[in-house]
Structure 1
Amino acid sequence: MDEEQQGIGKVELDQFLINEAQAVFERQPKSASEVIERWAYLGQAAEAQLTEKERLLLMAGSGVIQLSVEE
């Protein structure tokens, strides 16, 4: 079975992101790709909760995310 049939795709990533993932990998028993995949899922979940302005501020490094848990 080739990569396309397995649902695996290739994505070009910024070298900074790769370096950060490798740094996390050195502290945890995960591969860099697993770390990036986790970040992507977290980012997707967080983004769904943000307004466009909040997303822009966060991407610019000027925003802060505060988490509250609803039960």
Structure 2
Amino acid sequence: MSKRELRNRTKNLAGNQPETSNACSHPSTDPRQNPMPILTNLGFPAPVLVIRTEGPEGGLFAFPIH
């Protein structure tokens, strides 16, 4: 078993999503390292309500708060 497979298996046992790419993530932009990601680069007005959903159809949804 490769180190990557072992790491993914360990993450699955811990309840986390397995890695899907070889790309290195900067800690400030990696959602696993930063639970409150900065959305200004995505063009959302501030403040926003952010809802994160899990699963195959999951995603990150942001709604402006007026």
TM-score when normalising by structure 2: 0.29
Structure holding more helix per residue = 1
TM-score when normalising by structure 1: 0.28
Larger RCO, structures 1/2 (Cα 8 Å, 6+ apart): 2
